Structures are given as structure tokens and as C-alpha cells.
Amino acid sequence: MGLFRLLFWIALIAAAFWLWRRLSTKKASPRNQQTTLPMVRCAQCGIHVPQDQALQAGEQWYCSRAHLEQGSKPGGH
């Protein structure tokens, strides 16, 4: 009976330690989160790209220089 009680207390302490570690690491994780970038849709092909990588012409956004040139030509849209 004494062995069962000892194993019970060891398991209880291990579970409490595991729970404490899990909760303490959750609080530290927000500083490791990546920030999300705004996405824009290419007016030519419709693909979504990060805004800092897209090219803008007026109100339109483009994924590449080729699509920017195609979109700015008359009838290119």
C-alpha cells in the first residue's frame, strides 16, 4: 500500500510541474509571435501578395512589374 501512495504522489507532483511549465511558457510566447503583413490582390491575376512587396498604380495593386505594365496599358485589364 505504501508503494501505491508513493507512486500516486510522484505522479501528482509530476503533473503539477508539467502544468506549471505549460502555463508559464504560454505567458512568454506573445513576444515570439510574428506580426502579420497586410495582403493586397493583384489587379491583373488576382493573386494575393504582401503589401510591402506589391507595386501600386493609383488604386490598383500588382504582383510584378509585368502585370503593372499590362494593367496600365489601354485595354490591358
In the structure, what pLDDT confidence band is assigned to residue 26 with cuts at 50, 70 and 90?
Answer: low
Place of cell 500516486: 8
**Of residues 42, 37, 35, the one with CA closest to residue 60:** 42
What does pLDDT average to over the chain?
Answer: 85
- d(CA 48, CA 61) in angstroms, rounded, equals 10
In the structure, what pLDDT confidence band is assigned to residue 72 with cuts at 50, 70 and 90?
Answer: low
DSSP annotation of 30 reads G
- d(CA 77, CA 44) in angstroms, rounded, equals 7
User: Whole-model pTM?
Assistant: 0.50
